[in-house]
Amino acid sequence: MNLVVVQGNVTRDAEVKTFASGNSVVEFSVAVNRRVKKGDQWVDETDYFDVKSWGKKVPSKGDAVLVEGELRQERWESDGSKRSKVVVNANRLTIFSGYKKDSGTVPEPELATAGVGTSQGDGEDIPF
């Protein structure tokens, strides 16, 4: 089973690439904070995750998001060297519209699941 759930803040404005078929891929990064104990103190550490969403909703820098999907390893060759990275391929994306880090309020989420699917289609046939 390959399932991942990531909740955090978008680190940069999303890049949208539209294909000749009319399908779009939205690429962005999410920062997730976690508390770890170092010595006698608790400190925040941040992990960053690249996300690909196949849909119409586009988060902005600073937006709080919840991403549900699967991990995918992308492979390519650059200057004769084999390269790879792991990305989260979103099946469901929830954008907490209007919520920015440290704003102190959490509004109702804007469910951004319509149109989010896999790379095989535009997600219009997904039942959620």
Give the model's pLDDT for residue 97.
67
Give the model's pLDDT for residue 113.
44
**What CATH number should be reported for the domain holding residue 102?**
2.40.50.140
Residue 118 lies in a domain: no
Count up the domains in the chain and report the number: 1
Residue 31 lies in a domain: yes
Residue 125 lies in a domain: no
Give the model's pLDDT for residue 86.
95
Residue 128 lies in a domain: no
Per-residue pLDDT tens, the chain, 128 aa: give them: 999 999 999 999 999 999 888 889 999 999 999 999 999 999 999 999 999 998 888 999 999 999 999 999 999 999 999 999 999 999 999 998 665 555 544 444 444 443 444 444 444 444 43
Residue range(s) defining the domain that contains residue 101: 4-111
Residue 120 lies in a domain: no
Residue 40 lies in a domain: yes
Residue 29 lies in a domain: yes
Give the model's pLDDT for residue 57.
87
Angle, vertex CA 36, rays to CA 27 and CA 97, nearest 5:
35
Please state the pTM of the whole predicted model.
0.72
Residue 62 lies in a domain: yes
